[in-house]
Chains A and B, each alone.
Chain A
Amino acid sequence: MPAYEDMTSRLTVRAAVAAFILILGCGSPRVARVEWPADGGPLAFLQDRTTTREDILLTLGVPSGQFEGERILTYLVWLDAKTNTVRVLPREYALDGTDPRVYALSPAVASLVLVFDARNVLQRHALVAGQLPE
Chain B
Amino acid sequence: MAPRRHRCVRASLLLGAALASACSSTRPAYFAAHLTEAYVCGRWLPPLVDGVTTRAQVLQALGRPSRQYESGRIAAYRLVVGAPAVDESAYRTQVMLEHFEQLNLVFTREMEAFTPLVITDGRDDEQVKRIITAAGEFHLVFVYDGASVVARHAIHRVRP
Contacts and interface: CB of A to CB of B under 8 A. Distances in A.
Contacts of B137: 90
B39 interface: no
* Interface SS of chain B: strand
A67 interface: no
A115 to B, nearest CB: 14
Interface residues of A, number: 21
A61 B70 contact: no
A63 B132 CA distance: 18
A18 interface: no
B99 to A, nearest CB: 25
Interface in A56-94: 57-63, 66, 70, 88-93
16 contacts: A3-B29, A4-B160, A54-B143, A57-B141, A58-B141, A58-B154, A61-B76, A61-B141, A61-B154, A61-B156, A61-B158, A70-B70, A90-B78, A90-B159, A92-B131, A93-B159
Interface of B: 28-29, 32, 66-67, 69-70, 74, 76-78, 122, 128, 131-132, 137, 139, 141, 143, 152-154, 156, 158-160
Interface of A: 3-5, 53-54, 57-63, 66, 70, 88-93, 120
